[in-house]
Chains A and B, each alone.
Chain A
Amino acid sequence: MAQMTFLEAIRETLRQELARDERVIIYGEDVGVRGGVFRVTEGLQADFGEARVIDSPLAEAAIVGTAIGAAVNGLRPIPEIQFADFIFPAINQIVQEAARMRYRSNNDFEVPIVIRAPFGGGVRGGLYHSQSVEAFFGHVPGLKVVIASTPYDAKGLLTQAIADPDPVLFLEHKGLYRSIKGEVPEERYLIPIGKADRKREGKDVSVIAYGLMANLALKAAETLAGEGISVEVIDLRSIRPFDKAAILESAKKTGKVLIVHEDNLTGGFGGEISAVISEEALFYLDAPIMRLTGPDVPAMGFSPPLEHAFMITADKIADAARNLAKF
């Protein structure tokens, strides 16, 4: 099995799907000749041609809007939004059109698109290249929001997203692209959307996270294991739908839950998870449900100290989980 970075796993998945299904097309800003600003699509235009890997105008609403049209007419478009920060001009297309098409047309039309977008901070991206946008879209019925944390998961989830008959927002944390490697099978495989993965088993505290945060939580769990604190890490892998059963099972098991996301605290997806736990597992809780999140500030600063202050780190997770274990 090949060792791949997170980025390579996505590229190879796209390559596999382009080769497998001629309805699959990729387009977005600089995805063709340049191979994407992060080089995710590098070489794909050379292999599959300009008709299937298309450089688009710099207009996000048009990118998603035309992808919806193409999807309704039988293609399987995988539009890319260069940075998730730039997705907002396309929100109308995503929320009002893509997410509702099936409902509005009473199943006559479907929109099988996968919108890929790099998101998240910690890479000196400053205000406009660091945002987490999952809470905006996690709110929208009709949409799926997938966030992978490992190369293996990235392939299985992206393949499933492309196979999905409905719109999927596939968010890729920039901090993962080249920082983690893992074994990725060559053959095609699917990981169902909406199933969490228990990345580490523990009994004292449950940490619920996704994407980069799941990786940091694993590091923190390793640190705490040395202190005799047993941390369970639940990687949600998708926040809409999210795996209620896995969350409740872990919450009931440990009685102490820490939810971690890089997105802002207020209105962040952690609040939803917390609500579900308190609604359905109250009598198993031995401590308040805690959240460790990015602060409620307008954006992640560009200066390293500001960026560090905003970002979640393994140490911050370890501190929060340690306090919860001691409670």
Chain B
Amino acid sequence: MAHTVVMPQLGESVTEGTIGQWLKKVGDSIEEYESLLEVLTDKVNAEVPSPVAGTLSRVLVEEGAVVGVGTPICEIAVEGEAESSAEAAPEPVETKTPEPQADVEANAQPAVPKESDEGRGRYSPAVRRLASENGIDPSGLSGTGSGGRVTRNDVLKAVDEGTRLSPVEAREPVSSAASVASVPQVAGASANIEDGDEVVQLSQVRKMIAERMVRSKMTVPHAWLMVEIDVSGLVSLRNRLKEEFKAREGVSLTYLPFMLKAVSAALRKMPMVNAQWNGDSIVMKKRINLGVAMATERGLVVPVVKDADRLSIIGLAQATQDLAKRARSGRLTMADLSQGTFTVDNTGAVGTVLTYPIINAPEAAIVTMESVVKRPVVVGDMIAVRSMMNCCISFDHRVVDGAEAAQFLGELKKTLEAYTTDSTL
């Protein structure tokens, strides 16, 4: 008997995900807990482990399809048990490919997403040809084939019975589950392709990042501020402790845990920044869960340090190192990637001194920590060489006003500037 694998609950509030890449092909054998496929949700991809050992016998959902939690996505034939794909096989799921809506008027009434539970998204060439020749939507037919498949005869029967749909109906666009209903969208300028140019197809991760970024930029009114922070004390503190810390804790002491600690403290004082826009209300988040943006070979990921406000510098150092290690090896779980309430972007790691980050919606703000650079600054009435770091914030101006954002950065600055060589962790 084949074991049916369903779309797992990838996070508390996650109701659907995009099938990224099947890591196993039909016919491949798979161990229990071995990665079966990648599933993409907001800004991230997670690998779904196999619940059983066996052979992948059927893939029910193609790459790129958006499927709800609990939907059958594949079947695994368990060794020693007879295969029976014919009986009680779950119906394949209809693909809901997000389509960009170019027509502004279409947005006046948000289209209702098509029911996907009818399944049978896969049709044979004969079915597709006959359906198209006769203007029939095969998804409207009840299939008599194996697993409810719509067969050629089903289409021919429908033609006989004259169950024709009007051409307009038949070509009704499938609404994107991820489309933003309330904002007019126009098609972006298309690329100018010339001889010698290479056209690279989008990976699922790239698509997801693109969609999330466009969505955030188009729906969230971004505002931006920056402060300069004198981190000379922090630099000397780190220099004093880093050897000992590395030997004792096994992980390097970077500026990141200090930043996270300072951000947590600032968010506690300024809870309005730790909030989310909710249409007609604002959700004040109770927990302080800090997403940390990390660049990996697979693309941008934002693992989350949960309850960062309860962790010490040591705890934060260990938590972030652990996440970074797993992000690089692609071992992040969905739990690692969800429930963020605020994002910290360590852009300084790539050498910048000023960034205008895109908010990780629905969070209300994102803050960057830029490179620590020595600069001549005026201290009292003297010019001194100090270690300076810029912090930039992009914030959702619907939730937070400039004064609050500046106040938040001020708290950050106060905490980070308070460190001295002699501070204790």
8 new A-B contacts at CB < 8 Å, known A255-B124, A285-B124: A283-B126, A284-B126, A284-B129, A285-B125, A287-B124, A323-B86, A326-B145, A326-B146
- A contact residues around B122 at 8 Å (CB): none
Whether the Cβ atoms of A327 and B149 lie closer than 8 Å is yes
Whether the Cβ atoms of A286 and B86 lie closer than 8 Å is no
Q: Give A327 to B151 CA distance when docked, in angstroms.
A: 8
Please give me the 4 A-B residue pairs with the lowest Cβ-Cβ distance, nearest first.
Answer: A286-B152, A286-B126, A283-B129, A286-B124
- B262 lies within 8 A of chain A by Cβ: no
How far apart are B124's CB and chain A's nearest CB, in angstroms?
5
Q: Give A284 to B125 CA distance when docked, in angstroms.
A: 6
Whether the Cβ atoms of B127 and A286 lie closer than 8 Å is yes
How far apart are A324's CB and chain B's nearest CB, in angstroms?
10
- A contact residues around B152 at 8 Å (CB): 255, 286
- A61 lies within 8 A of chain B by Cβ: no
Given A255-B152, A326-B146, A327-B145 in contact, is the A282-B86 Cβ separation under 8 Å? no
Q: Give A255 to B154 CA distance when docked, in angstroms.
A: 13
- A contact residues around B127 at 8 Å (CB): 286
How far apart are A280's CB and chain B's nearest CB, in angstroms?
12
Query: Taking each of B124, B129, B149, B153, which has the highest tally of chain A beta carbons within 10 Å of its own beta carbon?
Result: B124
How far apart are B132's CB and chain A's nearest CB, in angstroms?
10
Q: Give A283 to B127 CA distance when docked, in angstroms.
A: 8
Interface string of A260-295 (1 = CB under 8 A from B): 000000000000000000000011111100000000
Interface string of A285-327 (1 = CB under 8 A from B): 1110000000000000000000000000000000000010011
Whether the Cβ atoms of A282 and B146 lie closer than 8 Å is no
Q: Give A327 to B128 CA distance when docked, in angstroms.
A: 16
- A contact residues around B151 at 8 Å (CB): 286, 327
Is chain B's interface secondary structure helix, strand, loop, or mixed overall?
helix
- B contact residues around A327 at 8 Å (CB): 145-146, 149, 151
- Using a CB–CB distance below 8 Å, which chain A residues touch chain B? 255, 282-287, 323, 326-327
Given A326-B86, A327-B151 in contact, is the A283-B146 Cβ separation under 8 Å? no
Q: Give A282 to B126 CA distance when docked, in angstroms.
A: 8
Q: Give A286 to B123 CA distance when docked, in angstroms.
A: 8
Q: Give A323 to B86 CA distance when docked, in angstroms.
A: 9
Q: Give A326 to B151 CA distance when docked, in angstroms.
A: 9
- A contact residues around B124 at 8 Å (CB): 255, 285-287
How far apart are B59's CB and chain A's nearest CB, in angstroms?
15
Closest A residue to B152 by beta carbon equals A286
How far apart are A60's CB and chain B's nearest CB, in angstroms?
41
B124-178 contacts to A, CB under 8 A, are: 124-129, 145-146, 149, 151-153
- B contact residues around A255 at 8 Å (CB): 124, 126, 152
Q: Give A327 to B127 CA distance when docked, in angstroms.
A: 13
26 A-B residue pairings within 8 Å (CB atoms): A255-B124, A255-B126, A282-B125, A283-B125, A283-B126, A283-B128, A283-B129, A284-B125, A284-B129, A285-B124, A285-B125, A285-B126, A286-B124, A286-B125, A286-B126, A286-B151, A286-B152, A286-B153, A323-B86, A326-B86, A326-B145, A326-B146, A327-B145, A327-B146, A327-B149, A327-B151
- A contact residues around B146 at 8 Å (CB): 326-327
Q: Give A326 to B86 CA distance when docked, in angstroms.
A: 9
How far apart are B87's CB and chain A's nearest CB, in angstroms?
11
Closest A residue to B145 by beta carbon equals A327
Closest A residue to B133 by beta carbon equals A283
- B contact residues around A283 at 8 Å (CB): 125-126, 128-129
How far apart are B128's CB and chain A's nearest CB, in angstroms?
8
Q: Give A282 to B125 CA distance when docked, in angstroms.
A: 6
Closest A residue to B129 by beta carbon equals A283
- B contact residues around A326 at 8 Å (CB): 86, 145-146
Q: Give A285 to B152 CA distance when docked, in angstroms.
A: 8
- A contact residues around B128 at 8 Å (CB): 283
- B contact residues around A286 at 8 Å (CB): 124-127, 151-153
Q: Give A286 to B151 CA distance when docked, in angstroms.
A: 7
Q: Give A189 to B194 CA distance when docked, in angstroms.
A: 66
Q: Give A326 to B146 CA distance when docked, in angstroms.
A: 6
Closest B residue to A204 by beta carbon equals B153
Query: Taking each of B86, B125, B127, B149, which has the highest tally of chain A beta carbons within 10 Å of its own beta carbon?
Result: B125
Q: Give A287 to B126 CA distance when docked, in angstroms.
A: 9
- B contact residues around A323 at 8 Å (CB): 86
How far apart are A282's CB and chain B's nearest CB, in angstroms?
5
How far apart are B241's CB and chain A's nearest CB, in angstroms?
65
Q: Give A327 to B125 CA distance when docked, in angstroms.
A: 14
Q: Give A283 to B86 CA distance when docked, in angstroms.
A: 24
How far apart are B133's CB and chain A's nearest CB, in angstroms?
10
Q: Give A327 to B143 CA distance when docked, in angstroms.
A: 11
- B contact residues around A284 at 8 Å (CB): 125-126, 129
Q: Give A284 to B129 CA distance when docked, in angstroms.
A: 8
Query: Taking each of A282, A283, A323, which has the highest tally of chain B beta carbons within 10 Å of its own beta carbon?
Result: A283
Q: Give A255 to B146 CA distance when docked, in angstroms.
A: 15
Interface string of B103-127 (1 = CB under 8 A from A): 0000000000000000000001111
Q: Give A286 to B146 CA distance when docked, in angstroms.
A: 12
- A contact residues around B129 at 8 Å (CB): 283-284
How far apart are A64's CB and chain B's nearest CB, in angstroms?
43
How far apart are A56's CB and chain B's nearest CB, in angstroms?
50
- B contact residues around A285 at 8 Å (CB): 124-126
- B contact residues around A282 at 8 Å (CB): 125
Q: Give A327 to B152 CA distance when docked, in angstroms.
A: 10
Closest B residue to A252 by beta carbon equals B126
B2-30 contacts to A, CB under 8 A, are: none
How far apart are B83's CB and chain A's nearest CB, in angstroms?
12
Q: Give A255 to B151 CA distance when docked, in angstroms.
A: 10
How far apart are A290's CB and chain B's nearest CB, in angstroms?
13
How far apart are B158's CB and chain A's nearest CB, in angstroms?
14
How far apart are B144's CB and chain A's nearest CB, in angstroms?
9
Q: Give A186 to B124 CA distance when docked, in angstroms.
A: 49
How far apart are A140's CB and chain B's nearest CB, in angstroms?
33
How far apart are B91's CB and chain A's nearest CB, in angstroms?
14
